[in-house]
Amino acid sequence: MESSVEVLKDLDALVDRAQFLVCAELQTAIAQRGQFTLALSGGSTPKPLYESLAQQDLPWDKVHIFWGDERYVPANHPDSNEGMARRAWLDQVPIPAEHIHPMPTQDADPAVSAQLYEQHLSRFFGGKEGGSADEIPALDVVLLGLGDDGHTASLFPQTEVLNVCDRWIGVGNRGADPRLTFTIGLINRARCALFLVAGQNKRPALQAIFSKDANSFDYPARFIRPEGKLIWLLDADAGEGLKIAS
């Protein structure tokens, strides 16, 4: 794993840098494997990046979009990560409909939906579901946000899904609300895990994540150590004063 931390002067600069990095990974992936696989994060931070990507002229027929986590609501619900990305980006570009791979949220049991998405990934990537580490698919880029409690994707502090090692998709929970999420193992197979973190309210979680001895079960983003690149993009409000333990 090669890791880097960049502090950008503001959110616009963070979005510009994120777009540059995503497009660089896209070009490499298409040159090497003929396609680019990208998992989106939800929340508010990535929205301006999605709006900016919607203005780019990219080889959309070679791009496949997944979600790293999803609230357990229909796509037309205001909280839906799929809905946000479609409105901000995917509805504006000529990406083939079958290249958009949303997490299913129709079944009454989120665990069934998690299994369905894992089966979908298995068919797409050709791996064996729940297989050994080397059969877990490697996405080109997994976009990640950071909650002010140190969660990422829907891997929340002190929740069961942090212990799930034999599945690619798990059921996380924010309090009583179920969420579907990439498991730590699936995220860590990524060729590039790219965190986008903005705002002063993220400072305490960031300092714990970059400290020597915080408990990763309290700050799950500490579990993210991808086989490829780990890139943290922070705006100045989030990154000010950050001390990175060696």
Contacts to ligand 6PG by CB under 6 A: 41-45, 69, 71, 81, 145-147, 151-153
CA distance 58 to 60: 5
Residue 140 Cα to chain centre, angstroms: 11
- The CB-of-146 to ligand 6PG minimum distance in angstroms stands at 6
- The CB-of-44 to ligand 6PG minimum distance in angstroms stands at 4
- The CB-of-225 to ligand 6PG minimum distance in angstroms stands at 17
* CA Rg value for the chain: 17
CA distance 145 to 157: 14
114 near 17, Cβ under 8 Å? no
- The CB-of-150 to ligand 6PG minimum distance in angstroms stands at 10
- The CB-of-196 to ligand 6PG minimum distance in angstroms stands at 7
Our CB check for ligand 6PG shows the closer of 149 and 227 to be: 149
The token pair at 114 is 């998690």
The token pair at 243 is 């001390």
The token pair at 95 is 């990406």
Our CB check for ligand 6PG shows the closer of 127 and 139 to be: 139
Our CB check for ligand 6PG shows the closer of 129 and 148 to be: 148
Our CB check for ligand 6PG shows the closer of 103 and 136 to be: 103
Our CB check for ligand 6PG shows the closer of 86 and 151 to be: 151
CA distance 74 to 55: 27
- The CB-of-128 to ligand 6PG minimum distance in angstroms stands at 27
Our CB check for ligand 6PG shows the closer of 153 and 234 to be: 153
- The CB-of-131 to ligand 6PG minimum distance in angstroms stands at 25
The token pair at 113 is 């939906």
Helical residues (DSSP H) of the chain, grouped into ranges: 11-33, 47-53, 81-88, 110-125, 184-187, 203-209, 236-239
The terminus-to-terminus CA distance of the chain in angstroms comes to 15
CA distance 246 to 239: 17
CA distance 117 to 102: 8
Q: Which residue is nearest to ligand 6PG (CB)?
A: 145
Our CB check for ligand 6PG shows the closer of 30 and 100 to be: 100
